[in-house]
Chain A
Amino acid sequence: GQQLNQSPQSMFIQEGEDVSMNCTSSSIFNTWLWYKQDPGEGPVLLIALYKAGELTSNGRLTAQFGITRKDSFLNISASIPSDVGIYFCAGPPQGGSEKLVFGKGTKLTVNP
């Protein structure tokens, strides 16, 4: 089946640093979603991207839908301790939108 590859698997950064993570696929996705999961909680939708080349911001978060529709990037600027968590990319596979495919996540640790 279709897979989403996220990198890096984990990140350890200092408070105030910028963060960049990405998600790639061997096949085309028409929608890219980015979720954040706080420790011990369920994932929450951060940003949704629906158009190739689209760049969307939500506060300190910026995400981009790759022009090839096979990748997406999430950037976090000026990280703070509450940014800690696991970030997942997800999307409905082309030709079948009833289930999302999820990446394995990027675990972010922010040192104060």
Chain B
Amino acid sequence: DGGITQSPKYLFRKEGQNVTLSCEQNLNHDAMYWYRQDPGQGLRLIYYSQIVNDFQKGDIAEGYSVSREKKESFPLTVTSAQKNPTAFYLCASSIASGGAGYGYTFGSGTRLTVV
């Protein structure tokens, strides 16, 4: 079955450490997105990529980095520069540029906690 997989489901990080969240999709979607969700804040866009080897900053990119070396994969690194990284992170994908109107497919999320 086609879908989008995020791993791990739960992640604990010590302050000052970088950590990478995995996102893989087998839907043959061109576009991929990373969102951060905090209670009462809705979904906030961190980074998005419309095509391999290209990505753009979203609304809250500071302290995060991404790569898009393969169509199927869009990992997110939470760096030590992110001052408040504890949150629920969601990865999503959609068909080619202009296809957002057909909706995104979301992964099941990764809950990151700084300890």
In angstroms, Cα B89 to Cα A106, docked, is 19
Complex contact A100–B42 (CB within 8 A)? no
Is the C-beta of A97 less than 8 angstroms from some C-beta in chain B?
yes
State the interface size on chain A (CB cutoff 8 A).
25
Interface centre among A41, A42, A45, A100 (most CB of B within 10 A): A42
Hey, which chain A residues are within 8 Å of B42, CB to CB?
88, 102-105
Q: How far is the CB of B1 from chain A (nearest CB, A)?
A: 14
Q: Is the CB of A92 within 8 A of B40?
A: no
The interface-forming segment of B12-20, B60-68, B75-83, B98-106 is B98-106
Q: Does B90 contact A (CB under 8 A)?
A: yes
Of the candidates A90, A99, A102, the one whose C-beta lies within 8 Å of that of B48 is A99
Interface of A is mostly: loop
A interface residue numbers (CB < 8 A to B): 9, 30-31, 33, 35, 40-45, 48, 50, 88, 90-92, 97-100, 102-105
> In this assembly, does B107 line the interface, its C-beta being within 8 Å of a C-beta of chain A?
yes
Q: Which residue of B lies closest to A48 (CB)?
A: B103
Q: In the complex the two chains form, is A30's CB within 8 Å of B109's CB?
A: no
Chain B residue with the shortest CB-CB distance to A102: B43
Q: Which of A31, A43, A97 has the most CB of B within 10 A?
A: A43
